[in-house]
């Protein structure tokens, strides 16, 4: 039984999924570790097929990215980085950022809301305004492509462990905290000059510029 639990932990599964298989191993006493691994892989595949579809993943990823944009508007660097993978956040803990993030001015936000007659953050939270294509490549990984009139961005995302099932943006290991900070500040300056016919189009462009520092590629 212990072997099955260890294998489950290695594969990122809840050990309770293996109880039935472990009982077989204990009863027969002839099952090999390899057989147990094959059983786990089959269980893992069934879990992926049953609970992870692209529409569900897309909705979860949209929620994450809209939260990132909301933090960016406030100039909240800690909140912005909160949605990175654990390994990226740990790497950044050892780095200092010298760029002080200046949020968009309240005057700009009021002007935006007066022009479009909508609340800016509410519009950004209504992530239908973010045309996002998501492909889930497995239980724990996904790729997302965000389209806007200003360009297209691609993102790599990872799902956390058993106790943290949220999606997190996975950036390049070569990207520094300072580079992200400078990119975010540049994005905040860029959105002040955005011109768009509708609130939705404007929201798409805002999302593009504020998410650009975390993108895996720009197209």
What is the pTM for the complete model shown?
Answer: 0.72
**pLDDT for residue 7:** 40
Token pair for residue 113?
């809301």
- Dump pLDDT digits (tens) for 68-125: 999 999 999 999 999 999 999 999 998 987 788 989 899 999 999 999 999 988 888 7
pLDDT above 70 for 4:
no
Rounded percentage of the chain residues whose pLDDT exceeds 70: 70
Mean pLDDT, range 122-143, rounded to an integer: 73
């Amino acid at each position: 039984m212990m072997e099955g639990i260890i294998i489950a932990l290695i594969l990122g599964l809840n050990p309770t999924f293996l109880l039935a298989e472990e009982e077989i191993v204990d009863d027969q006493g002839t099952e090999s570790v390899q057989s147990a691994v094959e059983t786990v892989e089959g269980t893992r595949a069934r879990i992926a097929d049953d609970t992870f579809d692209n529409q569900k993943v897309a909705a979860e990823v949209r929620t994450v990215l809209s939260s990132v944009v909301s933090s960016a508007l406030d100039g909240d660097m800690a909140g912005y980085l909160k949605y990175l993978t654990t390994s990226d956040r740990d790497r950044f803990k050892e780095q200092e950022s010298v760029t002080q993030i200046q949020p968009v001015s309240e005057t700009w936000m009021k002007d935006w809301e007066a022009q479009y007659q909508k609340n800016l953050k509410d519009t950004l939270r209504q992530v239908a305004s973010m045309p996002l294509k998501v492909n889930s490549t497995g239980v724990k990984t996904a790729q997302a492509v965000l389209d806007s009139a200003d360009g297209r961005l691609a993102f790599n995302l990872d799902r956390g462990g058993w106790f943290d099932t949220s999606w997190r943006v996975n950036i390049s290991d070569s990207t520094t905290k300072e580079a992200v900070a400078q990119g975010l500040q540049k994005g905040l300056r860029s959105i002040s000059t955005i011109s768009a016919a509708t609130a939705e189009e404007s929201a798409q462009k805002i999302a593009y510029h504020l998410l650009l520092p975390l993108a895996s590629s720009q197209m």
